[in-house]
Each structure stands twice: as structure tokens, then as C-alpha cells.
């Protein structure tokens, strides 16, 4: 029972750390845990270092070798991810059966949601490209090439995992000079994933829009799919569920066209065009004939109303006189 007891923080720093890990409506940027296995080759070590440079500052690199086998027992991996507050992980190892092995995955509710085991067939380090690099903390443009990404559910999950791994927050607006980095993932016919990293160069084009050239800056990886472990449809649907407060409320009678323009429909009652206030200008003034006709119609309405009132008064007087005569007839002569 002692292990089930909740220990309250005793310092302000510990309280802030626990509050930062609590569920939020808008979650923090996911951090990535990079770690080496019991045995690791030089290519895997260098690949993890290069990927760590691309992921900074949203990554945590473990310095020690860890005796972890994610597909057999992921408990130590889940514990390390919880301790370092990471929801993504990259695990590198190398063995005779599976050389240059790279395991990529993500965690939901402190448990492994899905992961994929990739083999590095060809690797070229970041330092091997003698070109100018990008600045730190640059958000990449992620491109997926190939029609096979949507063929099977397994490939769709791998695409979602790669997008989750290298995406850095949501972008509301884009500045052309801020686009510096492109990450390209190409799926070939033999299901090999080609990972390429490019630097965007803006050249003069003689027009307002510059000419764009891509210069490969590394790292370069050719990955083959070995093993996968994906979550069930129900669990995946639960993990992808968003709070209701983030969903845009449906606005009635408002639509948007293909160009992004907003069109609204407004319902109004029947309007009297003659009673509308228009701009007082010489061209809209009434002519003498229109004024004379309007005056005559107004006089006719007034005279017709006066006649109706006089007729109602006459009817009232006749009725009153008839009643008096009836009363005199009934009373008879006074004796």
C-alpha cells in the first residue's frame, strides 16, 4: 500500500514540475528520448547524435547503454520515458541478427502506443556533407513522397509516427524567409523509406517571388521496415481524441469556398422600399407632379376619415333618440 500512496511535492520547483506534466487542453511540445541499447555500432551512435541535433531542444539524449528490448519487454523504456517526461523515443541497437537497428515509437498514458523497427541499410552522416547548415530551433517542412503511404493501415501509422516525431508544434502563419529546412520521406516500391534533409536556398528570379533551390545537407538514411507493433483501432482513436473545446463550433448559414473566402447568409424581414431612408441628393428628389399627387392622396385619406367619423356620430345620435322615444312611450301620461 505504501507504493500506491501519492507523494505531494515539498518544494515549489517540484510543484511546478508536476503541474507541467498534468493533462492540458493544449499540450506541450512532445519531447523525444534517444537511447542506445546494450550493443551499438558506430553508425547507430552517429545516427542518434545527428537526429538529436535535428530535434533539439525537444530531445533528451541518454549517455549510458541500456539493456532494453522494446518488443519483448517495454517496461524499462516506459519508466525512462516517464522519468524524463518524454512521449516519443528512438532506440538504437545492433546485433548479429538485426544489425544497425533503430526502433521508433510513441507513448500514450505511460504505455507504448505503437512502434516500428527499422534497419539502416545506408547512412551518410551530417558531417559528411560539406555544406552550410541551418540555424538551430528551425521548424522543418515535412514532405511525404510516394503513393504507397496510404495503401495499408500499417504504412499509414508509420507515416503518422514520422510526422509526430519530427513535427515541432502548430504553425498558424508562414514567413517565406523563415523556411530553411525540408525533411523528405520517400517510400519506394520495395517499401524502403528514404530520409533526406535539405536546406532551402532562396535565389533571385527577377520577380517578386524568389526561385527556390534545395541543397542536401544531411543526414541521409535508407530505412527498411523490419517489425511493427501498432495499437488497436479503439486505443488509437482514444489517443487521437481532442477536447471538445478545441473543436470549432459549427456556425449556421456560414460557408467557405475553395479560395478560403467566407460567405454568410442573412435572413431579414419584408422591407418597405418607399420608407427606406436614402441619400438626399438632387437626382432623388420628388418632382412637382409627384408632390401634387401625394398631397391629393393625403387630402383624400383625410376627408375619407372625417366622413367615417361623422357617420359614426350620426349613428350614435339616432340610436340615442330611439331609446328616449321608447322610454317615453312606455311611461305613458302622468296623471
Contact 159, 141 (CB under 8 A): no
In this prediction, residue 327 carries a pLDDT of: 46
pLDDT digits (tens, 9 = 90+) for 261-315: 888 888 877 777 777 766 666 666 778 888 888 888 888 888 887 777 777 666 5
Which cell numbers hold the place of 44? 547507430
Asked if residue 209 has pLDDT above 80, the reply is yes
Give the chain's mean pLDDT.
83
Contact 43, 100 (CB under 8 A): yes
Domain annotation covers residue 299: no
Q: Which whole number is the average pLDDT over 35-48?
A: 91
pLDDT digits (tens, 9 = 90+) for 6-25: 678 889 888 887 777 777 77
Which cell numbers hold the place of 92? 538504437
Nearest to 53 by CA among 218, 235, 231, 254: 218
In this prediction, residue 329 carries a pLDDT of: 45
Domain annotation covers residue 93: yes
Domain annotation covers residue 169: yes
Number of domains composing the chain:
1
Domain annotation covers residue 16: no
Please give the model's pTM, rounded to 2 decimal places: 0.67
pLDDT digits (tens, 9 = 90+) for 316-335: 555 445 444 544 444 454 44
Q: Which CATH number do you get for residue 58?
A: 3.40.50.10480
Domain annotation covers residue 193: yes
Q: 189: domain range? A: 29-240
Confidence band for 198, pLDDT divided at 50, 70 and 90: very high
Domain annotation covers residue 60: yes
Please compute Rg for the chain using Cα positions: 40
Domain annotation covers residue 133: yes
Domain annotation covers residue 315: no
pLDDT digits (tens, 9 = 90+) for 112-124: 999 999 999 999 9
Contact 76, 64 (CB under 8 A): no
Amino acid at each position: 500500500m505504501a507504493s500506491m500512496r501519492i507523494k505531494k511535492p515539498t518544494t515549489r520547483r517540484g510543484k511546478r514540475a508536476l503541474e507541467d506534466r498534468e493533462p492540458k487542453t493544449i499540450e506541450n511540445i512532445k519531447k523525444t528520448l534517444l537511447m542506445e541499447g546494450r550493443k551499438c555500432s558506430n553508425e547507430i551512435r552517429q545516427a542518434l547524435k545527428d537526429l538529436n541535433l535535428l530535434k533539439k531542444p525537444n530531445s533528451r539524449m541518454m549517455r549510458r547503454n541500456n539493456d532494453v528490448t522494446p518488443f519483448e519487454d517495454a517496461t524499462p523504456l516506459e519508466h525512462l520515458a516517464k522519468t524524463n517526461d518524454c512521449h516519443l523515443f528512438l532506440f538504437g541497437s545492433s546485433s548479429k541478427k538485426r544489425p544497425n537497428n533503430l526502433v521508433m515509437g510513441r507513448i500514450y498514458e505511460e504505455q507504448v502506443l505503437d512502434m516500428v523497427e527499422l534497419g539502416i541499410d545506408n547512412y551518410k552522416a551530417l558531417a559528411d556533407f560539406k555544406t552550410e547548415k541551418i540555424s538551430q530551433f528551425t521548424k522543418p517542412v515535412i514532405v511525404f513522397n510516394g503513393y504507397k503511404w496510404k495503401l495499408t493501415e500499417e504504412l499509414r501509422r508509420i507515416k503518422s509516427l514520422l510526422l509526430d516525431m519530427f513535427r515541432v508544434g502548430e504553425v498558424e502563419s508562414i514567413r517565406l524567409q523563415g523556411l530553411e529546412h525540408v525533411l523528405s520521406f520517400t517510400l519506394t516500391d520495395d517499401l524502403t523509406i528514404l530520409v533526406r534533409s535539405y536546406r532551402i536556398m532562396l535565389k533571385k528570379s527577377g520577380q517578386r517571388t524568389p526561385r527556390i533551390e534545395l541543397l542536401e545537407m544531411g543526414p541521409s538514411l535508407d530505412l527498411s521496415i523490419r517489425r511493427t507493433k501498432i495499437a488497436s483501432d479503439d486505443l488509437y482513436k482514444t489517443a487521437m481524441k481532442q477536447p471538445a473545446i478545441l473543436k470549432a463550433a459549427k456556425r449556421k448559414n456560414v460557408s467557405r469556398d475553395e479560395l478560403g473566402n467566407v460567405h454568410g447568409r442573412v435572413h431579414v424581414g419584408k422591407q418597405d422600399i418607399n420608407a427606406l431612408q436614402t441619400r438626399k441628393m438632387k437626382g432623388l428628389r420628388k418632382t412637382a407632379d409627384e408632390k401634387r399627387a401625394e398631397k391629393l392622396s393625403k387630402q383624400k385619406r383625410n376627408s375619407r376619415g372625417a366622413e367615417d367619423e361623422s357617420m359614426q356620430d350620426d349613428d350614435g345620435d339616432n340610436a340615442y333618440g330611439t331609446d328616449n322615444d321608447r322610454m317615453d312611450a312606455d311611461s305613458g301620461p302622468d296623471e
